[in-house]
Amino acid sequence: MRLLLLNPPSYSDFDGGAGSRYQATREVTSFWYPTWLCFPAGMVEDSLVLDAPAEGLSVMATVERAKGFELIVVYTSTPSLKYDLKTCEQIKRQNPKALIGMVGPHPSVLPEPTLLASEAIDFVVRREFDYAVRDLAQGVPMERIEGLSFKRDGQVYHNPDRPPVEDLDSLPFVTRIYKRDLDIQRYQIPYLLRPYVSIYSGRGCPSRCIYCLWPQTFTGHRYRARSAGNVAEEVREAAAAFPEAREFFFDDDTFTADPARAEEIATLIKPLGLTWSCTARVTTPKQTLKVMHEAGLRLVVTGFETGNPEILRNIKKGATLEQAHSFARACKELGIKIHGAFILGLPEESRSSIEDSIKFACRIDPDTIQVSLATPYPGTEFYKMAQEKGYFTDSPLVSENGWQLCAVNYPELSNVEIFQAVERFYKRFYYRPRFMLRAIKKMLLDREERRRMLREGKQFKNFLLKRKEVLRGKAQAC
Ligand code: SF4
């Protein structure tokens, strides 16, 4: 069957596709690669990955591009599901014989409700879908495909689970599909050099953070890793295929989950002389950071989440504030830049814990930060906790235009206050004299950096304005 792997269009600039860990429209336009879709694409000749949000395609343009495909696999998310179902219905109307299925964490956790949500959906694949999609494309009967839930004659059937992929080296190189189907100039993340190329060197994360979507719903708590040689081979090949790439990014759940292996990869790619970045936990040893930095590591993306020790325990982060502090110090000493991720609205957030987080962020002083709202996605421990303890409000996860909303509140703190605190956090961090001086210096020394910062500064201002509109709508609704 001719296979289309689709990242569907939804809210304007919504980044919630097959490579995005939390799904919302961002402060500054960003698009992750639809990496998950590229694995099965690499196993099926004649397939196509279509990334509608990155290409700026409308629903109608997407439906048009879906013509002629017999098997259509759509990556969906909890906040975009409603929208994605409509796209599937339009595709089905135009092409009634096409088999349409959904993949991603949401259908993995809620296969039956997803299947029953629309007549247009024929199947869903639970958890990792690489081989199930390949089998479907090769015409294997649905009832024989592990991990598949499907509809037949109005009945829903759930096949047994498929074990997670163990031999990750046997998967195709996603970067070959980037080359075949995608335009790497369309992929941008504000803290990464543009254009960048993203690679997963492993899947899963041994940590148990209660809010984290992928390990709890999709990739699991065991870190399954590709061999260092296999990763280095892909990097070498991709560096030749994309000479314009300014940076490689290892976008594993946690690239440094196994420090010795991270060092091994670094040592193997060092002779290539590339600039690269990765995700890293605060527990990463300084020695590992040093080896990686000497091999071209420019920046780490690290989840600090909060500056309050009790909340850190509540969310089972498995790390302490002291570790976070020494990690940040080690990165600074070595000259590694940090993009620090923080979350507001985690269980039992209060006014004073928000203040703790803002002060902590200013103290450890990452180069850039991202402040997200805690989102209880179905299938996570946070979701269960929110249900049991009555944290949920009646707010949806995103606004009508895809902006992240706060769906939880606590005895001391309303969801509106948590939402407002995001802006306060950003302003207190970025409007510090120390940060401003650093930014001015960068702008004076580097013309390209100046252009980027001015563009992103404008987008960021716009973001703050749009959030105010969201808040006004919300306040009226309340
Ligand atoms: S360490 Fe990072 S990837 Fe792992 S569970 Fe926690 S938040 Fe998720």
Structure token pair of residue 96: 């009634």
Rounded to the nearest angstrom, the distance between the alpha carbon of 214 and the centre of ligand 1 is 9
Rounded to the nearest angstrom, the distance between the alpha carbon of 456 and the centre of ligand 1 is 27
pLDDT at 474: 55
Rounded to the nearest angstrom, the distance between the alpha carbon of 212 and the centre of ligand 1 is 6
Mutational test site, ligand 1, from 210, 253, 343, max ligand atoms within 8 Å of CB: 253
Rounded to the nearest angstrom, the distance between the alpha carbon of 44 and the centre of ligand 1 is 31
> What CATH topology corresponds to 3-151?
Rossmann fold (3.40.50)
By DSSP bridging, strand 71-75 and strand 99-103 are parallel
d(CA 43, CA 121): 23
- Ligand 1 contacts CB of residue 209 (under 6 A): yes
Q: Which atom from ligand 1 is nearest to the alpha carbon of 206? A: 4
Report, as an integer, the average pLDDT of 458-471: 78
DSSP state for residue 284 in the 8-state scheme: -
- Ligand 1 contacts CB of residue 205 (under 6 A): yes
Task: Provide, for the chain, the percentages of residues in helix, strand and coil under a 3-state DSSP scheme, each rounded to the nearest 5.
Answer: 45, 15, 35
Distances, alpha carbon 114 to alpha carbons 81, 159, 409, in Å: 9, 16, 27
Task: Assess whether pLDDT exceeds 70 at residue 238.
Answer: yes
Residue 343's nearest CA partner among 382, 387, 297, 378 is 382
- Ligand 1 contacts CB of residue 207 (under 6 A): yes
Rounded to the nearest angstrom, the distance between the alpha carbon of 45 and the centre of ligand 1 is 34
Nearest CA to ligand 1 atom 1: 207
Q: Tokens 């694995």 — which residue? A: 39
Q: Tokens 């850039």 — which residue? A: 368
CB atoms within 10 A of CB 441: 11
Mutational test site, ligand 1, from 22, 200, 203, 205, max ligand atoms within 8 Å of CB: 205
- Ligand 1 contacts CB of residue 215 (under 6 A): yes
pTM here is 0.94
Using pLDDT thresholds of 50, 70 and 90, give the confidence band for residue 383: very high
Percent of the chain with pLDDT over 90: 82
- Ligand 1 contacts CB of residue 254 (under 6 A): yes
pLDDT at 401: 76
Rounded to the nearest angstrom, the distance between the alpha carbon of 301 and the centre of ligand 1 is 12
DSSP string computed for 95-133:
-TT-EEEEESHHHHH-HHHHHHT-TT--EEE-S--HHHH
How many Cα neighbours within 13 Å face the side chain of 199? 30
Rounded to the nearest angstrom, the distance between the alpha carbon of 215 and the centre of ligand 1 is 7
How many Cα neighbours within 13 Å face the side chain of 328? 22
Task: Assess whether pLDDT exceeds 90 at residue 469.
Answer: no
pLDDT in tens, 119-163: 999 999 999 999 999 999 999 999 999 999 999 998 999 999 999
Nearest CA to ligand 1 atom 6: 209
Cα Rg of the chain (Å, integer): 22
Q: Tokens 């013509």 — which residue? A: 67
DSSP string computed for 25-93:
E-SS--B---HHHHHHHTTSTT-EEEEHHHHT--HHHHHHHTTT-SEEEEE--TTTHHHHHHHHHHHHH
Task: Assess whether pLDDT exceeds 50 at residue 477.
Answer: no
Using pLDDT thresholds of 50, 70 and 90, give the confidence band for residue 409: very high
Buried/exposed code over 102-120 (b: 16+ C-beta within 10 A; e: otherwise) = bbbbbbbbbbeebbebbeb
Cβ(183)–Cβ(234) below 8 Å: no
Reported in sequence order, the residue ranges of 218-326 that DSSP labels E, i.e. its strands, are 224-225, 247-250, 276-279, 297-305
pLDDT in tens, 280-324: 999 999 999 999 999 999 999 999 999 999 999 999 999 999 999
Domains of the chain, by residue range, sit at 3-151, 189-383+418-452
In what side-by-side order are the strands of the sheet with 297-305?
196-199, 247-250, 276-279, 297-305, 337-344, 368-373
pLDDT at 296: 98
Q: What is the chain's mean pLDDT, rounded? A: 93
Mutational test site, ligand 1, from 209, 311, 313, max ligand atoms within 8 Å of CB: 209
Rounded to the nearest angstrom, the distance between the alpha carbon of 367 and the centre of ligand 1 is 21
Using pLDDT thresholds of 50, 70 and 90, give the confidence band for residue 478: very low
Rounded to the nearest angstrom, the distance between the alpha carbon of 254 and the centre of ligand 1 is 7
Structure token pair of residue 231: 């990763």
- Ligand 1 contacts CB of residue 380 (under 6 A): no
pLDDT at 121: 98
Query: Domain 189-383+418-452, CATH 1.10.540.10 — does that match?
Result: no
Distances, alpha carbon 19 to alpha carbons 35, 56, 200, 370, 453, in Å: 5, 17, 10, 17, 25
- Helices 228-241 and 259-269, axial angle in degrees (round to 10): 40
AA identity, residue 379: G
Rounded to the nearest angstrom, the distance between the alpha carbon of 202 and the centre of ligand 1 is 13
CA 356 from chain center: how many Å? 26
d(CA 180, CA 171): 17
Burial of 284 (0-12, 13-18, 19+ CB in 10 A): buried
Q: Tokens 């950003």 — which residue? A: 426
Mutational test site, ligand 1, from 207, 346, 381, max ligand atoms within 8 Å of CB: 207
d(CA 262, CA 163): 25
pLDDT in tens, 76-116: 999 999 999 999 999 999 999 999 999 999 999 999 999 99
